Amino acid sequence: MARNTARPLSPHLTIWRWGPHMLVSILHRATGVALTVGGLFLLTWWLLALSGSASAYQSFSDFVGWKLGPIPLIQLGLVALTWAFFQHTLSGVRHLIMDIGAGFELRTNKTMAYLTMAGSLLLTIAFWAIIWGKAA
């Protein structure tokens, strides 16, 4: 049987029109990778520093508070990891809803995708407002 190699074997990104549901699906994968790599590294270092000496914890604290000029780079990374956590979690809830067979209607699917993105931003802002409010 002759095979036409000019056509894609399965639906491809160039065929489908982009929508918020596609973005949330891609963000779900990307945030999972970010949480696995960056989040687990920092969590492991923090736990080891907690169980270690005072100087070990101080070196971790110095790293987290490290600044390059006026911008606290590591804290920006922590904010990004927090957003990734909330985005990944809300996207996971969205996937669970779809796994039970609900939310496949186009309008509902787009609404859930927008709510996932907006919710992750709002939860990140609220979380860091609480953290920075306690630190002040």
pLDDT in tens, 15-61: 777 889 889 999 999 999 999 999 999 999 999 999 999 999 999 88
- Rounded CA-CA distance 127/2 in Å is 58
Say whether domain 20-135 belongs to CATH 1.20.1300.10.
yes
For residue 110, what are the contacts with CB-CB under 8 A and spacing of at least 6? 19, 20, 21
Q: In the predicted model, is pLDDT for residue 71 greater than 70?
A: no
Find, among 23, 4, 24, the residue nearest to 95 by Cα: 24
The domain locations on the chain are: 20-135
Find, among 98, 123, 121, 79, the residue nearest to 21 by Cα: 98
pLDDT band at 63 (very low <50, low <70, confident <90, very high): confident
Whole-angstrom CA distances from 59 to 51, 65, 71, 73, 80 are 13, 10, 19, 16, 22
